[in-house]
């Protein structure tokens, strides 16, 4: 497209999904976009450089994470508006899903610049597919608040009318989460805990909330979890057969 004299052409912001474990899940399109970009804004520059080195990508990398996104968002948007092609990476998976990115996308949209989304791996879609629970209605809670009262209330809200709830959890709080599920939703609530998704030690741990709490109460876990929770009658009744 030709532009008139003195008119400034906007650049582009590519929101790039990257593997959540297995590097073979990287898409051809993602590699091409990261090579074509003028700069990569990464949640963790060290992890990003390992990924880039693996795919022989030499684009400069700058940091953009939860501790600096408020101060850096306008600057990055200015660069894009000025003509730069910026690619955004989270630690793993798809940016903006419990990861930085929302503020930048919101600012770009406000300036009339639509982000380019490069889809790919996501722990959210992974657990939805793996759990085997009804997917007609999904409530995504991300990382739940630390106070148990708020957690239990949200769990009740997320699973209303048989909806499947998806949450992320630290390995250090699995027992507390299972206790909250038992209290808020009942012992027979179905749970599928996905750990180390796509990695060598990938696990899908299934059972009722009470069964998992009893069996794993003292377990020392490693690796973050994506967890599906359902009290839909078809799921609960199937477990009882």
Same domain as 216, residue 154: yes
Beta carbons of 29 and 119 less than 8 angstroms apart = no
Angle formed by the axes of helices 102-110 and 69-81, nearest 10°? 40
The predicted structure's pLDDT at residue 67: 95
Mean pLDDT by 10-residue block, N- to C-terminus, for the chain (241 residues)? Answer: 49 97 97 98 97 98 96 97 97 95 97 97 97 95 94 96 96 96 97 96 96 95 95 75 60
The predicted structure's pLDDT at residue 1: 41
Domains of the chain: total: 2
Is 3 within a domain?
A: no
Is 2 within a domain?
A: no
Other beta carbons within 10 Å of 184: 22
From CA 202, how far away is CA 204, in angstroms rounded?
7
Same domain as 192, residue 105: no
Same domain as 135, residue 101: no
Strand partners, 84: none
The predicted structure's pLDDT at residue 241: 60
CA distances from 112 to 2, 63, 73, 170, 208 (A): 19, 24, 15, 37, 48
Is 4 within a domain?
A: no
From CA 96, how far away is CA 94, in angstroms rounded?
7
Same domain as 225, residue 129: yes
What CATH number does residue 155 fall under? 3.30.950.10
The range of the structural domain enclosing residue 86 comes to 12-118
Same domain as 209, residue 127: yes
Which of 92, 118, 144 marks a domain boundary? Answer: 118
The predicted structure's pLDDT at residue 4: 42
The predicted structure's pLDDT at residue 3: 42
Same domain as 209, residue 163: yes
From CA 7, how far away is CA 234, in angstroms rounded?
60
Which of 80, 96, 118 marks a domain boundary? Answer: 118
Q: Is the pTM of this model over 0.85?
A: yes
Q: Look up tokens 């109460």; give the residue.
A: 217
Is 81 within a domain?
A: yes
Same domain as 129, residue 233: yes
Which of 118, 139, 159 marks a domain boundary? Answer: 118
Same domain as 90, residue 136: no
Same domain as 91, residue 17: yes
């Amino acid at each position: 497209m030709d532009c008139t004299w003195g008119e400034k052409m906007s650049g582009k912001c590519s929101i790039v999904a990257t593997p959540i474990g297995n590097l073979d899940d990287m898409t051809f399109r993602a590699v091409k976009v990261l090579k074509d970009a003028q700069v990569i804004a990464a949640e963790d520059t060290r992890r990003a450089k390992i990924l880039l080195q693996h795919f022989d990508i030499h684009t400069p990398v700058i940091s953009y994470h939860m501790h600096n996104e408020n101060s850096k968002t306008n600057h990055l948007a200015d660069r894009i508006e000025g003509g730069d092609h910026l690619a955004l990476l989270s630690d793993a998976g798809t940016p903006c899903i419990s990861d930085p990115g929302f503020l930048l996308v919101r600012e770009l949209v406000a300036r009339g610049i639509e982000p380019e989304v490069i889809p790919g791996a996501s722990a959210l879609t992974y657990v939805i597919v793996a759990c085997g629970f009804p997917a007609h209605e999904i409530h995504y809670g991300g990382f739940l608040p630390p106070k148990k009262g708020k957690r239990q209330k949200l769990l009740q809200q997320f699973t209303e009318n048989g909806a499947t709830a998806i949450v992320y959890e630290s390995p250090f709080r699995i027992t507390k989460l299972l206790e909250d599920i038992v209290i808020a939703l009942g012992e027979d609530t179905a749970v599928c805990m996905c750990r180390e998704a796509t990695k060598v030690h990938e696990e899908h741990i299934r059972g009722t909330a009470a069964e998992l709490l009893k069996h794993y109460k003292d377990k020392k876990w490693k690796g973050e979890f994506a967890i599906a929770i359902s009290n839909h009658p078809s799921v609960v009744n199937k477990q009882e057969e």
